[in-house]
Amino acid sequence: MTWLKLFPTLAMIVILLVAGHPVVGAAAAFPTENVTIEVWWHEYGPFTAYVKQLIEAYKKLHPNVTINPTIASSTDMNQKLTVALAAGTGPDIMDADASYYVAYHAKGVLEPANLEVFGVKSYEELAGRYVSGGLASGTFDGKIYTLPYQGNSMSLFINNKLFAEAGLDPKKDAPKTWNDLMALCPKLKKVEGQRTVRKAFEFPYHSPRWQLQDLQPMTEQFGGKILSDDGKTAYLNAPATVKALTLWRDVTKACGDPKNTKNTASNPNQDYLDGFTAMWITGPWATPQVQASPIKNDFTVVGFPQVDPAKPHTMVYGWAWGVNKNRPEKNKLVAWDFVKFMLSKPDEWLAKAGFVQPVKGVAETEVAKKFPFFDVHMKDVQTASWYLRSEQVNEIAQAVGRAVEAVVYDGADPKTQLDAAQAAVEKVIKK
């Protein structure tokens, strides 16, 4: 009698299991109930427009998913995210400068990539879809936590018209080394009395993070590095860094006028776009801005200047998507699925936002073939290290920026300033 009473219940359990209800170890099914996820990203016109298109397209595929976007300025995003994550109000999908993810990982707020969503069996298999080192910024202890939607090279943009006015050919005379670049400066730089009316070349002075962006590859070109791979030792006053900063100063004296610039954090390329600077180092994402400026298509892009072109060192930086670990399982599943959907068309990212995803096969797409100087950007990516990865990246950038500005603006000695920067960074790292 007891068995007879229990039988229907047992039968029901067996039927439910066989019918595909989730069991431990099996792939989690995409939720069929309504799910709302929050996505945060940084403001950049073409990028924002494209992500909004992607949201609409995804909603058509999954009508039960609602995606709420929040857009913040690139300079505010890190603090907004950190505060929200601390308060438990962080988004499901976050967008951050790749160099910040080391801190988010250390604070335990990142969910590793869902391999089943990406249809791979291991992180190695997922990494295999990207160019060598393409996922280095978001890989921790062998697990992939973030996926970049842009991995930008830093290359030298030349204003063809200004070159022609100086009697130079942007193809033949384009500099390969820093010495080549300095040799061009007397022809390109124009000063009237005390007023600089044209700069030949300029380093960035609107943001310490941009300064580190240039000093890092220059230091590597002299055979050094800013920070050890484990992030526990700084080499800011090592001979290679001192040589790099000394070169920075000499190039600035010959080519630029850092006291005179309209570049700001929100308009970092302004002097180049205005035709005030003939040569400027920036990323491929600036291409649509250049084309929309009076320069239009009259520009040339060449590789990041080198100390020794036989041993090239460049820098790659970017922004990446990450998923918040402290969200419900169904949200995390949908979040990774949406990230996969967003990243599925690298050629569209290039065409619509000017961002280069460091995935294999981008160069072969039609869009890449039409994108101005895409081969140059990709060549610079191949010889690049990712932007400094450290929990203290902002403090290191501040220390570097302080040294650079003291040398450039006040004529201070590079070694003395880098000694001070080293002391400041060592203190921070030890803590």
Partner 1 sequence: MGVIATAAPRAPRRFLRLNLTAKQALFGYAILLPTVAILLVFRFLPMLQAFWISLHEYDLIRPPRFVGLENFIDLLWDPLFLNSARVSVAYVVFSCVPVWVLSLGLAVLFNREIRARNLFRSAAFMPVVMPMVVNALVWTFMYHQDGVVNTILGWFGIDPVPWLRSSTWALWAVIIIGIWRATPYYMVIFLAGLQAIPNEYYEAAKIDGADAWTEFRHITLPLLKPTTLLVMVMSVIVAMKVFAVPLIMTGGGPADSTRVLPLFIYQTAFEFFKMGRAAAMSVFLFAAVMVFTLFQIRLFSRGED
| Nearer Cβ to partner 1 (116/405) | 405
CB of 173 or CB of 405, closer to partner 1: 405
Q: Which is nearer to partner 1, 42 or 352 (CB)?
A: 42
In this structure, the chain runs to a length of: 431
Q: In whole angstroms, how close is the CB of 239 to partner 1 at the nearest point?
A: 23
Minimum gap (Å) between residue 394 Cβ and partner 1:
5
Q: How far is the CB of 86 from partner 1 (least distance, A)?
A: 4
Distance of CA 236 to the CA centre of its chain: 22
Nearest distance, CB of residue 44 and partner 1, angstroms: 20
Burial classification of residue 288, based on how many CB atoms lie within 10 Å of its CB (0-12 exposed, 13-18 middle, 19 or more buried): middle
Least Cβ distance, residue 229 to partner 1 (angstroms): 22
Closer to partner 1 by CB, 256 or 305: give it. 256
Q: Residue type for 379, please?
A: K
The footprint of partner 1 (CB under 8 A) covers: 78-79, 82-83, 85-86, 103, 107-109, 193-196, 205, 207, 258-262, 265, 392, 394-395, 398, 401-402, 405-406, 409-410, 412, 420, 424, 431
CA atoms within 13 Å, Cβ hemisphere of 278:
30
3-state SS, residue 272: helix
155, 300 Cβ separation under 8 angstroms:
no
**Closer by beta carbon to partner 1, 174 or else 215:** 215
Tell me the C-alpha to C-alpha distance, in Å, between residue 350 and each of 47, 116, 153, 291, 371.
10, 27, 13, 14, 8
**In the complex with partner 1, which residue's Cβ is closer, 53 or 79?**
79
Helix (H) or strand (E) holding 138: none
| Least spacing, CB of residue 151 vs partner 1, in Å | 24
CA–CA separation, 209 and 212 (whole Å): 5
DSSP category for residue 165:
H
- List the beta strands (DSSP E) in 107-153: 139-140, 143-144, 146-153
Residue 306 CB coordination number (10 Å):
22
3 state SS of 102: helix
Residue 402 or 415 having the CB closest to partner 1: 402
Q: Is 167 helix (H, G, I), strand (E, B) or coil?
A: coil
Cβ at position 79, least distance to partner 1 in Å: 4
Q: What distance lies between CA 263 and its chain's CA centroid? A: 19
Contacts of 5 (CB under 8 A, 6+ apart): none
Closest to 178 measured CA to CA, from 221, 239, 238: 221
Report yes or no: 323 and 335 within 8 Å, Cβ to Cβ: yes
**Residue number with CB closer to partner 1 (104 or 130):** 104
Longest distance between any two alpha carbons in the chain, whole Å: 108
Q: Measured from the CB of residue 178, what is the shortest distance to partner 1 in angstroms?
A: 23
216 token code pair: 């890092």
Q: How far is the CB of 122 from partner 1 (least distance, A)?
A: 29
| Least Å from the CB of residue 318 to partner 1 | 20
CB-nearer residue toward partner 1: 60 or 431: 431
Among candidates 188, 165, 166, 163, which has minimal Cα distance to 174?
A: 163
Closest to partner 1 by CB, 368 or 396: 396
